[in-house]
Amino acid sequence: MKTLMIPLVAIFFGACATMQPRSPAVSILVDLDPASVDRTIIVESITANKEGRLYMPDRVTGNILRVDPKPPKPVVVGRIEAREIKGKKVNAEGGGIAFNQQGDLFIASGPFAEVVRIRAADLNAAKPGTAQTFATGTEGANGIVFDKQGNLFVSGGRSGVVYRVGANGGAAQPAVKIELHTRKLPDGKTEQATVANGLDFDAKGILYVADTSRGAIWKIEMQPDGKGSKPVLFAQSPLLEGVDGTAFDANGKLWATVNERNAIVTVTPDGTVQEIAKNGSAGPLEFPSAIVFVGNSAYITNYDTPRRDNMDATGQAAKDGIGASIAQITP
């Protein structure tokens, strides 16, 4: 018997080796609020500077946090002050975040209908800089991305409009519009109407727009006058229901966080959608909202909204898991 066992064991382990899941593991880089699991910090978007340090806006405090992946301790380097609008205190609720070529940092604010800027020199842990208005008239401002010429594009959430702002800022102009749409979630009550969310350009300068509502990604060719051509469907799948932030990897494959499904997917240039990671409400993905690559490592913000696959056992909240955090997929 014993002599027979050895080849069987060898075959078994050999089979395991070939069947090993190729999906990379998701782990937690840092819990942004170790004292709480209950959204005392809310981060929707993430970007990295040229040195590979991560930056994200906290919607609760208005603080701009910086995290060096080694060691991953959050530091406040800037701030978006709340404003008084029509007699009420309104938080910026910082959304999309991106650097320009000069190293200035830009953050979308839906409640302000603006994109604000903190100059490179003012991103300072010793004296955090205050964000100033850069672009106005961006209703529902959510995702942001720069093109190679330094123009800023801003997604308008449920308005479906993608705005364009020149490198010097000012009043934004509509560049393209995604048709409106509303999807009911499987609970039969919750509605998702955000059709223009995460934005990205590919190497050829084609704009990609995440349509959270349809579970789709649109492709838009830009014309010389700064307007977009008619949006073309790049991918649509139940796997993309809740698609939020996107980023291209070094091979030109598009990665996307799918918030309400607690999932990460990839989309190949021919539009094939593949699930890379997915988990229940306990994490490590907790309503993942944005993704950025530093080299071959992906960093993902956990926004932790209580919705669909990110509901805890009460069916009301998302208090399991660790809450606001950065997840990572490292090679």
Q: Which is nearer to Ca ion, 44 or 200 (CB)?
A: 44
**How many angstroms separate the CA atoms of 265 and 277, rounded?**
7
Shortest Cβ 258–Ca ion spacing (Å): 16
Shortest Cβ 181–Ca ion spacing (Å): 28
**How many angstroms separate the CA atoms of 40 and 33, rounded?**
7
Among 57, 78, 228, 323, binds Ca ion (CB under 5 A): 323
* Residue that the structure tokens 């004296």 belong to: 127
Among 128, 228, 231, 321, binds Ca ion (CB under 5 A): 321
Q: According to the binding rule CB under 5 A, does residue 33 interact with Ca ion? A: yes
Shortest Cβ 325–Ca ion spacing (Å): 6
Shortest Cβ 39–Ca ion spacing (Å): 8
Strand partners, 174: 163
Residue 226: how many CA atoms within 13 Å on its side-chain side? Answer: 17
Q: According to the binding rule CB under 5 A, does residue 318 interact with Ca ion? A: yes
CB 164 within 8 A of CB 172: yes
Shortest Cβ 302–Ca ion spacing (Å): 8
Q: According to the binding rule CB under 5 A, does residue 211 interact with Ca ion? A: no
Q: Which residue has the CB atom at the shortest distance from Ca ion? A: 321
* Residue that the structure tokens 């796997």 belong to: 239
**How many angstroms separate the CA atoms of 312 and 131, rounded?**
36
Q: Which range binds Ca ion by CB under 5 A, 58-66, 158-166, 213-221, 316-324? A: 316-324
Q: Which range binds Ca ion by CB under 5 A, 53-61, 78-86, 260-268, 315-323? A: 315-323
How many residues make contact with Ca ion (CB under 5 A)? 8
Over the window 40 to 79, marking each residue x when it contacts Ca ion by CB under 5 A and - when it does not, the resulting string is: ----------------------------------------
Of 251-310, binders to Ca ion (CB under 5 A) are 286, 304
Shortest Cβ 115–Ca ion spacing (Å): 29
Can you give the three-state secondary structure of 164-185, one letter per residue? Answer: EECCCCEECEEEEECCCCCEEC
Shortest Cβ 314–Ca ion spacing (Å): 12
Q: According to the binding rule CB under 5 A, does residue 241 interact with Ca ion? A: no
Q: According to the binding rule CB under 5 A, does residue 31 interact with Ca ion? A: yes
Shortest Cβ 13–Ca ion spacing (Å): 37
Residue 284 Cα to chain centre, angstroms: 16
To which H or E segment does residue 220 belong?
A: strand 216-220
**How many angstroms separate the CA atoms of 148 and 202, rounded?**
10
Strand partners, 67: 54
Question: Apex CA 311: angle with CA 322 and CA 293, to 5°?
Answer: 55
Residue 47 in tokens: 């970007």
φ/ψ region of 48 (left if φ > 0, alpha if ψ in -120 to 50, else beta) reads beta
* Residue that the structure tokens 């995702």 belong to: 143
Q: Which is nearer to Ca ion, 42 or 209 (CB)?
A: 42
Q: Which is nearer to Ca ion, 173 or 314 (CB)?
A: 314
Q: Which is nearer to Ca ion, 164 or 307 (CB)?
A: 307
Q: Which is nearer to Ca ion, 178 or 263 (CB)?
A: 263
Total Cβ atoms within 10 A of residue 223: 11
Interface contacts to Ca ion, rule CB under 5 A: 31, 33, 286, 304, 318, 321-323
